[in-house]
Structure 1
Amino acid sequence: MKALVLAGGSGTRLRPITHTSAKQLVPVANKPVLFYGLEAIAAAGITELGLVVGDTHAEIEAAVGDGSAFGLQVTYLRQEAPLGLAHGVLIAREYLGDEDFVMYLGDNFIVGGINDLVERFTREGPAAQIMLTEVADPRQFGVAELDVEGRVIGLEEKPARPKSDLALVGVYLFSAAVHEAVAELKPSWRGELEITDAIQWLIEAGLRVESSVISGYWKDTGNVTDMLEVNRLVLESVEPLIEGKVDAVSELIGRVVVEPEAVVERSRVVGPAVIGAGSRIQDSYIGPYTSIGASCAIIGSEIEYSIVLPRASIAGVGRIESSLIGHDVEVTPAPNTPKAHRLVLGDHSKVQISS
Structure 2
Amino acid sequence: MKAVVLAAGKGERLMPLTENRPKHLLPIGGKPLLEWILEGLVGAGVDEALLVTHYMEEQIKEYFGDGKRLGLELSYVRQEEMRGTADAFRMAEDFAGGEEFLGVYGDLFLPPEGFEALIRARRKGETTMCVVPVDDPSRMGVVALEGDRVTAIVEKPAPGEEPSDLANAGMYIFQPGIFRLIDETGLSSRNEYEITDSLRALIDSGATLRAVTLPRGSWLDVGLPWNLLEANEKALSSMETSIEGDVEDGVHVQGPVRIAEGARVRSGVYIEGPVCIGPGSDIGPNCYLRPSTCIGADVRVGNACEVKNSIIMDGTRVPHLSYVGDSVIGERCNLGAGTITANIRFDKKNVKVDIKGERIDSGRRKLGVFIGDDVQIGINVNLLPGVKVGAGAWIAPGLTVHDDVESGVFLRTGTY
State the TM-score, normalizing by the size of structure 2: 0.77
Residue 145 of structure 2 aligns with an amino acid whose one-letter code is L
Q: How does 1:17-32 map to 2 (within 5 A)?
A: 17-32=17-32
How far off its partner does 1:139 sit? 2.4
1:242 maps to which residue? 243
Larger CA deviation: 101-110 vs 326-335: 326-335
* Alignment-derived partner of residue 229 in structure 2: 228
1:143, distance to aligned residue in structure 2 (A): 1.2
Report if the CA contact (8 A) 2:336-2:379 is conserved: no
1:222: how far off?
A: 1.6
Alignment match of 2:284 (pick from 282, 285, 303):
282
Question: AA paired with 2:332?
Answer: D
Change (3 A) 1:335 1:85: same
Native 8 Å contact 1:310 1:326 kept in 2: yes
Tell me: CA distance 1:178–1:280, structure 2 relative to 1, closer, same or farther (3 Å): same
State the alpha-carbon separation in 2 of the partners of residues 331 and 187 from structure 1. Answer: 46
**CA–CA separation in structure 2 for the residues paired with 1:228 and 1:95:** 35
Superposed displacement of residue 135, structure 1 = 1.4
State the secondary structure of the residue aligned to 1:143: strand
Shift of 1:150: 4.1
Following TM superposition, by how much is the alpha carbon of 1:318 offset from its aligned partner in structure 2, in angstroms?
A: 2.9
SS at match of 1:20: coil
Instruction: Give the AA of the match of 1:240.
Output: T
Identify unmatched segments of 5+ residues in structure 2.
Answer: 338-377, 381-396, 400-416
Task: Provide the residue aligned with 2:138 in structure 1.
Answer: 139
Q: Deviations over 1:20-76 (max 9, x none)?
A: 111111111101110111111112222121110002110000111001111211121
CA distance in 2, matches of 1:261, 1:7: 32
Aligned partner of 1:262 in structure 2 is 263
After TM superposition, the structure 1 stretch with the greater mean CA deviation from structure 2, 43-52 or 62-71, is 43-52
Query: Do the aligned residues in 2 keep the contact of 1:126 with 1:208 (CA within 8 Å)?
Result: no
For 1:75-114, list aligned pairs within 5 A: 75-111=75-111, 112-114=113-115
Deviates more, 1:321-330 or 1:104-113: 104-113
For 2:142, the aligned partner's letter is: V
In 2, distance between residues paired with 1:177 and 1:262? 52
Is contact 2:236-2:292 (8 Å) kept? yes
Q: Report what 2:356 is aligned to.
A: none
2:316 alignment partner AA: A
Check conservation: 1:127, 1:202, Cα contact below 8 A. no
Greater helix share, structure number: 1
Higher Cα Rg, which structure: 1
Are the aligned partners of 2:149 and 2:208 in contact in 1 as well (CA < 8 Å)? no
Give the equivalent residue in structure 1 for 2:199.
199
Counterpart CA distance in 2 for 1:173 and 1:151 is 14
1:312-340 deviation line (CA, Å, top 9, x unaligned): 1112243111101111111113446899x
Name the SS of the counterpart of 1:311 in structure 2.
coil
Partners of 1:8 and 1:81 within 8 A in 2: no
The structure, 1 or 2, with the larger RCO (C-alpha pairs under 8 Å, 6+ apart) is: 1
Q: Following TM superposition, by how much is the alpha carbon of 1:159 offset from its aligned partner in structure 2, in angstroms?
A: 3.0
Q: Deviations over 1:67-113 (max 9, x none)?
A: 11112111211012332111111122222221101011111111224
**How far apart are 1:120 and its partner, in Å?**
2.2
TM-score of the pair, normalised by structure 1: 0.90
Q: Could you tell me how far 1:228 is from its partner in structure 2?
A: 0.8
Supply the distance in 2 between the matched residues of 1:328 and 1:168 (Cα, whole angstroms): 37
Q: Distance in 2 between matches of 1:192 and 1:292?
A: 38
Supply the AA of the counterpart residue of 1:132: V
Q: Which amino acid aligns with 2:276?
A: V
1:182 has 2:155 as partner: no
Distance (whole Å) between structure 2 residues aligned to residue 335 and residue 211 of structure 1 = 54
Does the CA-based 8 Å contact 2:114-2:214 persist in structure 1? no
Map of 1:326 onto structure 2: 330
Structure-2 separation of matches of 1:295 and 1:7: 27
What amino acid maps onto 1:282 in structure 2? G
Q: Which amino acid aligns with 2:223?
A: G
Matched, 1:316 2:325: no
* Separation in structure 1 between the aligned mates of residue 203 and residue 238 of structure 2, nearest angstrom: 40
Looking at structure 1, the residues matched to 379 and 13 of structure 2 have their Cα atoms a distance apart, in angstroms, of: 31
* Superposed displacement of residue 126, structure 1: 4.4
**Partner-residue secondary structure (3-state), 1:41:** helix
Which position in structure 1 is the counterpart of 2:372? none
Letter of the 2:278 counterpart: G
- Of all paired residues, the percent bearing the same amino acid is 34
Aligned mates of 1:176, 1:338 — CA distance in 2: 61
Instruction: Kindly indicate whether the alpha-carbon contact (under 8 Å) linking 1:153 and 1:203 is maintained by their aligned counterparts in 2.
Output: yes
Runs of 5+ consecutive residues of structure 1 not aligned to the other structure? 340-355
Query: Structure 1 CA distance, aligned partners of 2:101 and 2:212?
Result: 17
